[in-house]
Amino acid sequence: MTTSQRPAFVSERISPEAGSADLSAMARGEPGVPRAFTWREGRFEVARVLATQRGMGEDRGDVYVRRHYFDVETTDLLRMRLYFERNPKDRSKRKAWWLYTVTFPEPVIVTPRLALRRWTYADRADFRAMLADADMMRHLHEGVPLSPREADAALETTIEHYRAGFGDWAIVSRAHGEILGESGLTTLPETGEVELGYMLRRPFWGQGFATEAARAVMTHAFAALGLSRLVSVARPDNRASIHVLEKLGMRPIGRAVHRGHEMAKFETQ
């Protein structure tokens, strides 16, 4: 299986945000591609238009523009193909904008079974499901699942963190494309140290995915990012997480307080 991301067919209507249309295009008589729109509860912003294309139609010998296609990149690095149905056969579609295909970002890290890529706003449902996993969340943060609203806020923060050049990446199965959890690098707010983190949804425990993903993130941190040291923290009673750190060759260096909780702290050797 290659690591290249293929477009996923969608063909669903989107809701352009009022006042976000490209006025210069409209002045030329062309559809004004929306700079912001809503799709499946999520808000997306267009960072740039990559290409445009016209889909032509014919009626009784007359050729006309049927659709205007716009290949765009959003601020969360999704590639989307939007189209405007200029002369639809179905009159209910008149003046509607549609999302034709979505292409997710290329993986940052690839292992034999996994691909780690940036989270996007199109992953909202998977991100919510991950943070609603009671078994997984028992050892994280306040020990309880997050509500959909809390998960949405956490997703926004996760995407914003990529500005640092790294962050928490979605763990995607290369076999079937399902999101299994996340692993990546973040900065501990208490010390400024770079932390190696991981979390895996309950259905995927016991298959070595956490170790495979975390080991690949560690290699990426040293080889690609030039970091010389990583730390990791875990609840003292979270034996499964500590076992992963031990398999990675990290050594315990005592306790630390993280987000108000006492944690076991480890570092790379």
Number of helices and strands in the chain (H, E): 6, 15
pLDDT for residue 265 is more than 90? yes
Give the dihedral sign, CA 106/111/112/118: negative
The verdict on 75 and 196 lying in the same domain is no
Among the candidates 44, 72, 103, a domain finishes at 103
Q: Could you tell me if 269 and 251 are in contact, meaning their C-beta atoms sit under 8 angstroms apart?
A: yes
Say if 257 falls within a structural domain.
yes
The verdict on 77 and 166 lying in the same domain is no
Among the candidates 74, 103, 132, a domain finishes at 103
pLDDT for residue 11 is more than 70? yes
The verdict on 177 and 250 lying in the same domain is yes
The verdict on 47 and 160 lying in the same domain is no
The verdict on 116 and 132 lying in the same domain is yes
Who has greater pLDDT, 27 or 129?
Answer: 129
Inter-axis angle of helices 148-160 and 124-131, nearest 10: 110
Domain of 63 in residue numbering reads as: 8-103
User: Tens of pLDDT along 231-243?
Assistant: 999 999 999 999 9
The domain total for the chain is 2
Residue 196's pLDDT is 98
Among the candidates 68, 103, 138, a domain finishes at 103
Who has greater pLDDT, 162 or 92?
Answer: 162
Say if 2 falls within a structural domain.
no
The verdict on 99 and 118 lying in the same domain is no
Give the dihedral sign, CA 43/46/51/56: positive
Q: What does the block give as tokens for 125?
A: 């449902």
- Whole-angstrom distance between the N-terminal and C-terminal Cα of the chain? 34
Who has greater pLDDT, 192 or 25?
Answer: 192
The verdict on 154 and 67 lying in the same domain is no
Q: In whole angstroms, give the CA distance from residue 123 to residue 203.
A: 18
The verdict on 153 and 185 lying in the same domain is yes
Residue 87's pLDDT is 62
The verdict on 85 and 23 lying in the same domain is yes
Residue 23's pLDDT is 83
User: Tens of pLDDT along 115-154?
Assistant: 999 999 999 999 999 999 998 888 887 888 999 999 999 9
**pLDDT confidence of 183, banded at 50, 70, 90?**
very high
